[in-house]
Each structure stands twice: as C-alpha cells, then as structure tokens.
Amino acid sequence: MKPFRYQAPGSVNAAVEAVEPMGIAGQGGAFLAGGTTLIDLMKLHVLTPPSLTDVKNLGLDTIEESDGEVRIGARVTMAQASEHPIFVERAPALSDALWKAASPQLRNVATLGGNVLQRTRCPYFRDNVSPCNKRDPGSGCAAIGGINRLLAVLGTSENCIATYAGDFANALILFDATVETRTDEGSREIAFEDLHVLPEDHPERETILGDDELITGYRFQLPDWARRSVYVKARDRESYAFALASAAVALDLDGDTIREARLGLGGVATVPWRAREAEEFLQGKTVSEDTALEAGRIAFEGAQGYEHNTFKIPLGRQVVAKAILDAARMDLSGAPNSSGTSEGAN
Amino acid sequence: MADDTMTFEATPTMDIETQDKVESAERAAENNNVGAAISRVDGPLKVTGQARYAADFAVPNPLYAHLVISTIGKGRITGIDDQAARQVKGVREIYSHANKLDEGSAKFFAAGGQAQQSWEPFAEPDVRFYGETIGLVVAETILGAREAAAELVFQYESEDPAAVIDASGVERQEMPDKAVTKGDFDSAFEAAPVKIDSDYETAPNVHNAMELFATTAHWVGDKLTVYVPSQWVKGFQIGLAEELGIDEANIEVVCPFVGGGFGGKGSLFTWVSLIAAASRDLGRPVKLYVTREQGFTTASFRAETRQSVRLAAAEDGTFQALEHTGDELTSRADNYFVNGQDATVRMYQADAIRTGLTTVHADRQTPGFMRAPAETPYFFGLESAVDEIARELSMDPVELRIKNDTMIDPVDGVPYTSRSLKECFRQGGESFGWSNYTPEIGSMNEGEWMIGWGVATATYPTQMSPCTVRIHLDVSGEARLQVASHDVGTGAYTVLTQAVADELGIPVEKVRVELGDSRLPPGTIAGGSISTASNVSAIMIACERIRQRLGLERGADNDLAAAFENFGQAGIEEYAEWNPSAAKKNATKTLYNGQVMIVGGPEEDYTAFAFGAIFSEVRINRFTHEIRVPRMTGAFAAGRIMNAKTAKSQYLGGMVWGIGHALHETAEVDPRTGAYMNDNISEYLVPVNADVPNMDAIIVPEVDDKVNPAGVKGIGEIGIVGVAASIANAVHHATGTRLRRIPIRLEDLVQA
C-alpha cells in the first residue's frame, strides 16, 4: 500500500470540502467508509489515492420512515439494513440481497453508500498487470478472450465486460430510489437507475458522480406490494460467493394475475440492471412457469456471452423464472414476512 | 419461502465440560488411554492464542522482506529499474538474479533431496512460469517492503508460455517403467460383454492453508535459527545446510505448530535460503510473510490430470479387464508425478490389468504433495468408471463393488494384511439409509430439487517410515517424548501423548510431547499418512526398554517410586529407532541425512491399505442448478484408532475437502499468460460451513497385527479419496448427466 494522508472531518460540509478530487484511475483522493473495496484495491496497488477522507464522523447512519417515504443514511451498514424490520417485513428483496452478500464480517463494516459503488471483481482489473481499460484507459481488455466465467453478458462493450459485483443495488433498483449526494457546491438528487453508466467507450467511468461528490443517502416509497419481493442468487457455494446470476423480483398480484412486476438482475451485467421489457411483458399475465421463463428470455434478449460465461444467459433466464415463481408463491396472509432468512445467512 | 426449499439445520453440540466428563468416564471404563476420544492436549494453547506458529516467534530488531514475483509466463529478465523502489523509506536491500545472494540449491525432493524444485530462482535471469520468485525486497517495515516491491520495474523479453496441459508446446514424457500390467488387457477387453471407455479430467488445486507461508531467519554468530511452517523440519535443516553451504549442526529449524499443511509445507521452499542469506548479508534477523496471492505460485500445488479408464465386466458384474492411464502436468524441469493408477488397479479383482503414465512438461511451477496426492485425482476416474459400468450392468453400485472385492492384491497376487471394505459399505450404507436407494434417474427428486445418491470406495496405502524417539521418565511419574515429527493440526501431540501414557502406565496429564524442532531426534515427514504408525512403533520400543530397565509390567498397576528406588536413579531416558520391516536395516540413517524413506502399500509379500466407503446425497435446484451436498457418510476401517475424536475429525476434514475437490476447487490458469486468475480465497472457492451441513464419519473396527507393531494404518488422507466420484455419481443419479470433469459447476448442468 502506498502511503496516504488520512482525515476524518466532523461534518458533511467539511468532508466534501476536504476531499481531493479523485479523477480517473484513482489519481486523486477518495472517501473512505467501510473500505471493503477501497482498502482491498489499495493493497493491490490498483488504487493509489494520496488521501482518504473518512466519513465515519458524519452520522448518516439511520433508517427512517416518514410520510410513506423510507430514508437510508449512506453509512448504514449492510448488516444493520439486512435486519431492519422495514426491509425484512416490507421489502424482503432488499434484506435478502443484503444477507446473501459477502460474509458477516464484511456486512458488519460495509456501508450502503459504499456498497453501490463496489468495484468489479474482474481479475484483469485487480491484477494490476493485464491490459484493462477500466484501470488503464486505452490499454485494452484482457478479460475478452481470457478467464471470464464471472463476467457480464449484458451491458458490455468491446472495451469492457466487467460485472457489477454487488447485490443490494440490484434490489434497490426495483423501487425507483433517489440518491442524495453532496459536493462543496451543494446537494443534488439522482435517480438511482441513472447513477451507474454503461462501460461503452469509457469503462473507467462507472457512475455519474463528480470527483468530490459524496452519497449521503437514499430515499424511496415502499408500496404495499413490495412485501411480495424476493432476491434469488445462484452461486457456486451456499454462502460467501458472488452471484453467477441473481434476480430481484417484486410482484403486485391480483389473484394469479400480475398487475405490475419489477425485475432487477445481478451477476450478469456491467451495472445494476433493470429489465424493463420483461416487466412490461409480465404486466397482465397469469403467473405460470412458462410465463416466468418467457420473462427470463426477454430479460436476456440481446445478451452476449463470451468464452466462459455463455451459460449465464440460460441460467439467468431460469433464475428470473424462479424469482417470479417464488415471489408469486409467497404467503402474505399470516406473519408480515414469509420470506424470512431461515436458510441462515452465514 | 417455498416448502420444498432445502433447509440446513445445525447439529446441536455438547458443551465442552459435559463432553470432557463423558470422555473421562469412557477412559476410566476402558482403563486404556489408547483409543479414547480425549480432547486435544494442545487445544487450550490454540484457543487462547498461546500456540506459537512459525511467524509468531519474535526476534530482536527484525527487517521485513517481501517477495517479488514474475508477471510473464515465460522469458527472461532484461533489466530492472529499482530507482523508485530504493527511494521508498526504510528500504535496505533489493535482491534478484542481478545481485545474487550467496546460496545454492538443494536437490529436488522427488529426486531424493528436500527442495520444492530443482532450480534456484535467482540463479538465472530466466522466468520459467508466471508468479515465479524473481526478487526480494528487504526493508525496516512490512509496508515499506511491499511498497518498494510495487515500485520495482522488471523489464522482460517475453515468450508465449505453454501453461496448460492441452497447450501446444508442452513436452510429453511417457513413463513406461511406472506401468503395471497383468494378463492380456486388449484381448480381455475385446472379448468382454459389457464395457465402458471414458475420459476424466481433474483441475489444478492449491493448498491454501489457513496459515500463510512465512519464514524468519535469525543468526547468532554462525548459528542460524529458522522459523518456518514445515511438515519436515529435519529435511529443511539438511536442505538449508546445502543451500547455505554451512554445517547442518549450525542450523535449527523450529515449527511447533502448523496451521494446515496438506502437503504444501512438505518440501523446502525456495525462499527460505533467500531469507537466511539476506539475513546473513544484512546482519539482522529477517522476517518474510508470503501473501495469499503469492502462495498460489511460489509453493507447490496439485497438478491437473487427464485420465482414461477402460473397464470390462461379465454379465454378472465380475470385472474382467481394467485399464487406467493418466497424463499429469509438471514443470519443464522437474518430472513430478503421482501415478495413482498404481493404487486404483488394486481395488477390485480383475484378470487383465494395465496402467500407463505420461507426464506433461509445461511452463508452470513444479507440483508437489497434496492430501492423498495419488489417490485423490485417480479415484475420481476409477470410481466414476465403476458407477458407469454399474449403470451398464443395471446393478446396484454397492453390490457391484462388493462382488469385485478381493482379499488378494490383483496385481501382485499377495494377500492384503487386512481389508474391511465390505464392512465399510455395510455400516456406511446402514447409517446413510442406502436400502432406500432407487436407481432410476431422477426417481428421488422432490419438488424443484433434483436429488441423487452416489457411492465410492475410499482407500489409502498403509505406509511407514523409519523413526527415532527419545523418552524421559522421572520418579514423579512425568514423561517427556522428544521427536522431530509434526502436528499439522491433525492431533499428533494428543495421540503420541496417549501412546506414551499407555505404554508407561501413567496418566496423559503426566506426558509432555515435544515436536517440530530439528534438534530433536529425527522423526517422520508429515506426509503419506505415516506419522502415527511410525512414531507409535518407535515409542513402543523406547517404552519397552524403559519398562525392562525399571522392572515394570505393561498394563499393570506399577509402583513407580519403588521401581526407581531399585533402579538407583531418579530419572531414565531411552532413545529408540524403529525400522519398518520392509525397510533396509540401517534405514534410520536416511532420517539423519534428510531423506524420505516411505515403505508400505504394496510390498513384496503383502499389500497394506486402509479402506472406506463414501455415501453422498446431492441436491440440485432445477432453476438455479446450484449443486449442494446436504448429506454425506463415510465409513472407514484403518486398523487401530489411537483417538476416536481426532480420527473422526481427520475423516470429516478429508470429506469436506472432497466436496471442494468435487464442486469448488480449481486454479484458473489463463492459457495466454500462465497467470492464476483466481489467486485469492474469494474466487478460489472451498466449502464454507453452509456447504457441509450433515456429515458423519464411522469408525469401522479392524484389527491388523501385520502392518506394524502399533497396528495402525494411516488415516490422514483417506477421508478425501473417492468423495469427488461419489458426488459426481450422485449428480448423475439426480440428473442423468454424467460429468467426467471436476470441479463440477452449475454450468455443466444448464441447458441452453
């Protein structure tokens, strides 16, 4: 790790003034929250910020609800949110996505502000040696033609196929959340779906955030039908593994008929992915396995497989189907939460 | 959550206090410490952090070293820009081929030496594989050393490596002298009514022990002490003496505890002499931690194999012909191989047998031992093939194995010292519930879960090595055992304590065992499942002499005080050497020379193996295709069991690793560069707790008084053998898809 300056300002204002703009390829300073991505990449010398601005003294660590709107502070940890009754009972897709991610140790320190900005696990980005347009713009993409089993099939470009590796964002995207940010020039609000940008010709640019822009929180409405939501994550082992394909689904049902469906995908795309065409297809349909599989097929229309990851297209289709069927099967008549976490999070 | 979702329930465990009470009651009832399920004598040290592992030893005013590894797969270093690196605060020295440290190379272990490979990394500017050690930075702090290493720029002339087993550019070397033949395979196979001919693949595996590799070198005058994780302190001492060009008497290698070895700490690492030489050069102790990533390539590994099995049977299931051949990857320079076909063809009776071995030299590091080195990959091939022919024969896979069970080694025609395979299948099957097995594909499915059951035979040769021990007993009834053997986490401290207590008729609390120091009488390498049999056999000799000299009766309630009174001294010490009957007469000399001599398995007039049966259940979700193993039972017969508790842990540990071998573990090599692209434990997967919910190991009683005086067969490795095949066979039962390449991953089951 390269030596860096460290500061821990006491207010959001002070923090956004203190941070040194990051610029591309990690030349500037960075905000530090849980550090589970940042410190890791600094140890690998993939990121070498000269200064870290720790947000630990900024508060921003509560989950509140008022006037039907939920507000999550950016420093709320994954563990805290995964157990919060608002999510467990009224949006199980969110709590599922959180406890099915990482390990208890990581969830205890990783924050939701940082989590949505989690960097890719693409091994060619992390090795600090291979050509990688995300790490070293213009150098090429070694993942194409390489070991790319874990990489993306949706939203890729000829310059980058790195997967967005997180889980929470794939569920958050269902609820039309707003991201609240601050810079030293003031605050702004961003639709969550607009936060991440496709790699296209500039994979080094992952979000629309400015260099000195700090996520302070999220807010969104939780409709009653969000109780009928799930997060299905297919992975190589039962815990502590990245998604090979995951699907977040929320259904508004009228008997067996789908009034409205929301569908987010993970482990398969370069950014948190909302499958709007599949949502439209589902509207008004009767729940069945065939319908669910067709929605999955539509969700992966246009997907492009590479040497070792073409399986993600049929896998993703079936994961979507399972998520739709699981959501439809949820019994919401009794206890407020029937999704639960009985499988154990560890 | 849907009803048919699989749930894992934790098994309630007894609290420790109750457990200990039960155990001491059991001990009292048996009036015999050997075999008792006592808790580990070193357990309290480990759980309170007092057990000192190699990197835990403090040395005065150390410098810290960091390895630099190559980032090309083949070529040569043409220049080094170390300007920026030398500017980093606290950097003391940077070593490479350009300013070679004064050290040589010990002989490769597979050629009778001790070293992990046959060449010394700084001897030449050549880069032989991706991730090879090419530089060493020494600084005042760990962080300084790492930062400087990152600033160091190596310039290369790069060539395309042939880094994987099927790359063009590898060199194939046939090994006809390793082949076994019996009868006329071709005719027998041709004439047989039922046959299968299948190819199998196993992946490269990396040990990834919890304890990272590390080395500390501390010179006082011309005396060197080295703290290094080691499964062979004596070999390390002798090899280091050769590499450093100093008298072995001036070197002490210390490693009282090992945080997981698995074979990965069995041969002398290339960096140990570099650290010792750097310390000598700089005049201060030097400490090295090898990072997790670097551990993937700077130590040994289990190489990938390609196997072919041809198996033929009569209509009634009697095996008539078996051929098992294998290709194994190795490095360009070293011809390492495991040749597990030599064991697979001894499992079942057959009149015609043939094996073949080819090593494939590629641009990779030299492979080495990993838990059941030969059997783990090759029993995946054999036991998958037996399942395939059971399907062809429409026979129950357990019944077919029992039908072809034999008490005579089919290759050499000599008897097994003991072989309880049938009993393992009987007890294992009963516990697992095999009578409920329905053979039709998919017949046991439930809801969205595809469920399958699979079985396999496990085995491991019973091997031994010469061993020496020193035992001291005093008038207060306290005994001390000293031997340069090892506890790699398996319970050696505990079972050797039990052996001494039992032989001398004293309580286990009165026995102290010292291991893991090269100054002690030379013991066994922690490999080949030889430790318990060999050490206990030597302990028995030393204790018998002590009993004779003191006039004690074995097993009797002796009056020690009176015995010492008669003896006329307050203490007594015996040094003893034990040579297995199959070894040469003066074989203990090899221990002092730092050579490994392992005998056993197939010998001239007998064959000795431990046997077991593995039963696995797999569940595969029909949407996510995730493959899980909710249930597994292993039943093992391995002669005398010294401690039922540590033995069971060994078996279970092996079985857990078997799940990883079957479903998770693979080092993913980019064929373009030779780089291991998943060189971390986030992406190099092993089972986590949630993957091993319900496992049981059954100890099948077996008495074998022929194998060695201790009656002990090794148990360290058998637990993993056959597990991968049992899982692959279960996957076939669940889905109808026969998968002949491990790890089996969900994409193997996803239909487009």
Catalytic residue (one of B103, B151, B665, B717): B717
CATH number at residue A22: 3.30.43
Do B200 and B380 touch, CB atoms closer than 8 A? yes
| Residue B269 and residue B221 share a domain | yes
| Chain A residues inside the 8 Å CB shell of B147 | 1-3
Query: Does B5 contact A338 at a Cβ distance shorter than 8 Å?
Result: no
Nearest to A163 by CA among A245, A107, A99: A245
| Residue B665 and residue B717 share a domain | yes
| Residue B219 and residue B143 share a domain | yes
- Domain boundary at B298, B326, B349, which? B298
Q: Please report which confidence band the pLDDT of residue A339 belongs to, taking 50, 70 and 90 as the band edges.
A: very low
Q: Is residue A45 part of a domain?
A: yes
Q: Which of B7, B143, B672 has the CB atom closest to A146's CB atom? A: B672
A vs B, Cβ pairs < 8 A, gives 115
| Residue B692 and residue B661 share a domain | yes
Question: How far away is chain B from the Cα of A180, in angstroms, using its nearest Cα?
Answer: 32
Q: Is residue B434 part of a domain?
A: yes
| 3-state helix, strand and coil shares in percent for chain B, rounded to the nearest 5 | 30, 25, 45
Type of residue numbered B457: T
| Chain A residues inside the 8 Å CB shell of B682 | 121, 242
Q: Is residue B290 part of a domain?
A: yes
Helices A289-299 and A312-329: angle between axes, nearest 10 degrees: 140
Strands (E), B213-285: 214-220, 223-227, 251-254
| Residue B379 and residue B244 share a domain | no
Question: How far away is chain B from the Cα of A206, in angstroms, using its nearest Cα?
Answer: 23
CA B196, distance to chain mean position in Å, is 31
Question: How far away is chain A from the Cα of B3, in angstroms, using its nearest Cα?
Answer: 10
| Residue B683 and residue B571 share a domain | no
pLDDT digits (tens, 9 = 90+) for B674-696: 999 999 999 999 999 999 999 99
Query: Does B624 contact A234 at a Cβ distance shorter than 8 Å?
Result: yes
Question: In the structure encoding, which two tokens stand for residue B356, read together?
Answer: 């073949």
Work out the average pLDDT over B494-518.
Answer: 96
pLDDT digits (tens, 9 = 90+) for B90-125: 999 999 999 988 777 889 999 999 999 999 999 999
Q: Is residue B483 part of a domain?
A: yes
Does A319 reach chain B within 8 Å, measured CB to CB? yes
Query: Does A150 contact B664 at a Cβ distance shorter than 8 Å?
Result: no
**B293 catalytic residue (yes or no):** no
Work out the average pLDDT over B158-187.
Answer: 97
Query: Does B673 contact A244 at a Cβ distance shorter than 8 Å?
Result: no
DSSP H/E element including A78: helix A78-82
- Domain boundary at A14, A38, A56, which? A56
Residue with tokens 């300073």: A29
Q: Is residue A310 part of a domain?
A: yes
Type of residue numbered A175: F
Q: Which of A337-346, B32-41, B151-160, B266-275 has the lowest mean pLDDT?
A: A337-346
User: In a mutagenesis test of the A interface, which of B289, B677, B742 is the best target, namely the one with the most A β-carbons within 10 Å?
Assistant: B677
How far, in Å, CA of B487 to CA of A198, rounded? 53
Q: Is residue B349 part of a domain?
A: no
Q: Is residue A9 part of a domain?
A: yes
Q: What range does the domain containing A51 cover?
A: 5-56
pLDDT digits (tens, 9 = 90+) for B481-491: 999 999 999 99
Helices B270-282 and B233-244: angle between axes, nearest 10 degrees: 50
Output the average pLDDT for chain A.
93
Q: Which of A78-82, A335-339, B592-596, B665-669 has the lowest mean pLDDT?
A: A335-339
| Residue B154 and residue B246 share a domain | yes
Q: What residues contact residue B24 under an 8 Å CB cut-off, 6+ apart?
A: none
Q: Is residue A135 part of a domain?
A: no
User: In a mutagenesis test of the A interface, which of B1, B69, B618 is the best target, namely the one with the most A β-carbons within 10 Å?
Assistant: B1
CATH number at residue A323: 3.30.390.50
CA B363, distance to chain mean position in Å, is 24
Do A95 and A88 touch, CB atoms closer than 8 A? yes
Q: Which of A171-180, B18-27, B42-51 has the lowest mean pLDDT?
A: B18-27
> B1 pLDDT exceeds 70?
no
Q: How many domains does chain B have?
A: 3
Give me the interface pTM, i.e. the ipTM.
Answer: 0.94
DSSP H/E element including B469: strand B467-474
Q: Is residue B645 part of a domain?
A: yes
Q: Is residue A10 part of a domain?
A: yes
| Residue B430 and residue B547 share a domain | no
Does A56 reach chain B within 8 Å, measured CB to CB? no
Query: Does A340 contact B1 at a Cβ distance shorter than 8 Å?
Result: yes
Does B298 reach chain A within 8 Å, measured CB to CB? no
Q: Is residue B195 part of a domain?
A: no
Running DSSP on this structure, what letter comes out for residue A224? G
| 3-state helix, strand and coil shares in percent for chain A, rounded to the nearest 5 | 30, 25, 50
| Residue B155 and residue B66 share a domain | yes
Q: Is residue A245 part of a domain?
A: yes
Q: How many domains does chain A have?
A: 2
Q: Report how far apart the first and last C-alpha atoms of chain B are (Å, whole number).
A: 27
> Quick one: pLDDT at residue A22?
55
Q: Which of B150, B623, B670 has the CB atom closest to A319's CB atom? A: B623
- Domain boundary at B298, B314, B338, which? B298
Q: Please report which confidence band the pLDDT of residue B11 belongs to, taking 50, 70 and 90 as the band edges.
A: very low
| Chain B residues inside the 8 Å CB shell of A227 | none
3-state secondary structure of B154: strand
Query: Does B750 contact A311 at a Cβ distance shorter than 8 Å?
Result: yes
DSSP H/E element including B695: strand B695-699
pLDDT digits (tens, 9 = 90+) for A17-42: 888 765 544 567 899 999 999 999 99
Q: What residues contact residue A27 under an 8 Å CB cut-off, 6+ apart?
A: none
pLDDT digits (tens, 9 = 90+) for B232-268: 999 999 999 999 999 999 999 999 999 999 999 999 9
| Chain A residues inside the 8 Å CB shell of B752 | 310, 313-314
> B316 pLDDT exceeds 50?
yes
Q: Is residue B535 part of a domain?
A: yes
Q: Is residue A267 part of a domain?
A: yes
Q: Which of B146, B663, B750 has the CB atom closest to A315's CB atom? A: B750
Q: What range does the domain containing B485 cover?
A: 466-590
| Residue B252 and residue B120 share a domain | yes
| Residue B489 and residue B441 share a domain | no
CATH number at residue B609: 3.30.365.10
Question: In the structure encoding, which two tokens stand for residue B132, read together?
Answer: 């090879």
Q: Is residue A158 part of a domain?
A: no
Q: Is residue B367 part of a domain?
A: no
User: In a mutagenesis test of the B interface, which of A161, A233, A311 is the best target, namely the one with the most B β-carbons within 10 Å?
Assistant: A311
| Residue B214 and residue B67 share a domain | yes
Q: What are phi and psi of B473, to 5 degrees?
A: -130, 135
